Structure formats: C-alpha cells, structure tokens
Amino acid sequence: MAVNGKVYDWESITIALPYGVVIGVESIDYDDSKEAELVYGKGGKAVGYGQGNYEANAKITLLRDEYDRLLEYARENGKALYKLPPFPITVSYANDGERPKTDVIKGAKLTKNAHKAAQGDKKLSVDLELLVTDEIIRDGVRAV
C-alpha cells in the first residue's frame, strides 16, 4: 500500500551481493515458474493436475565500476568468476514509514557476462545472467 500516495520506485530498492550493498546497479530482473498441466481420464474434462519442475532465473546490470567490485570479490576468494559458489542476492523495497519487504534470490550462479562499449557512451555497464540453483523467497514466502 502506498504511504501518502508514494509507491515503490527505483530509489526504494536496495540490492546486496555477497560483498555488500550494490550502488552501481542499473537494473535487476528475476522470475520463477512451476510447471503444471491438466491430467485427463475418462471423458473430456480434466480430473486433476500434475506438477513438474520449478525454475528460477535472474539478470542484473552493473556499472563497470561495480562489476570491478565483483571481480575483486572473486579474486579475494581465489575463485575464477564462473567458479564462484552460488550466492544469495537480496532485494529490499522500502518507503519511509513502512516495514522493508525483502526478496532473496537463493543460490545465484553466474552463467553469462555481456560487455558492450561504443563511441559516445557516457557510461559502461555489464549485463550478468544468473541461474538460480535454489529458489526465490519473496518477503518471507517460499516459492516451493
């Protein structure tokens, strides 16, 4: 619910990676799904449903300076970037006067780095794709 008409916006979000709060972040996307399908028996009406696998993914875009912090974290832990163990990402939403709501992306594993730079760019950013090896917990509510 909005407080005094103010809804969540980009300024309301705090994101943390294993090395601390992320300042140089441009975006974060995360999603999950759980397979389900109808099961049929006699007749043309479903008699129930069956469930399959749970899957979650995440993407984050960091400014190059922030990406360098991630590289330093890997270096300090003696790991190659793609050999970093799965780590949590926390995304907290808060407006003044409200309890913070926190989503936890458990078990994020780096799967892709994408760099791009072009003449005239005012900033450099790096897109990271992540496999989620565990689940996404939204404000304390488990996905599965």
Q: Where are the alpha helices (DSSP H) in 17-122?
A: 64-76
Q: What is the pLDDT of residue 97?
A: 80
Provide the domain limits for residue 29. Answer: 10-138
The reply to whether 72 falls in a domain is: yes
The reply to whether 3 falls in a domain is: no
**Among candidate residues 27, 5, 4, the one with its CA nearest the CA of residue 91:** 27
Helix (H, G, I), strand (E, B) or coil at 135: coil
Q: What is the pLDDT of residue 99?
A: 87
Helix (H, G, I), strand (E, B) or coil at 72: helix
The reply to whether 48 falls in a domain is: yes
pLDDT tens, residue order, the chain (144 aa): 555 678 889 999 999 999 999 999 999 999 999 999 999 999 999 999 999 999 999 999 999 999 999 999 999 999 999 999 999 999 999 888 888 999 999 999 999 999 999 999 999 999 999 999 999 999 999 999
Q: State the CATH number of the domain containing residue 87.
A: 2.30.110
If you write DSSP's letter for every residue of 4-62 in order, what string do you get?
Answer: TTBPP-GGGEEEEETTEEESSEEEEEEEEEEEEEEEE-SSSSEEEEEEEEEEEEEEEEE
The reply to whether 131 falls in a domain is: yes
The reply to whether 4 falls in a domain is: no
pTM of the predicted model as reported, rounded to 2 decimal places = 0.89
**Among candidate residues 66, 64, 60, the one with its CA nearest the CA of residue 28:** 60
Number of domains in the chain: 1
CB 39 within 8 A of CB 47: yes
The reply to whether 143 falls in a domain is: no
The reply to whether 67 falls in a domain is: yes
The reply to whether 1 falls in a domain is: no
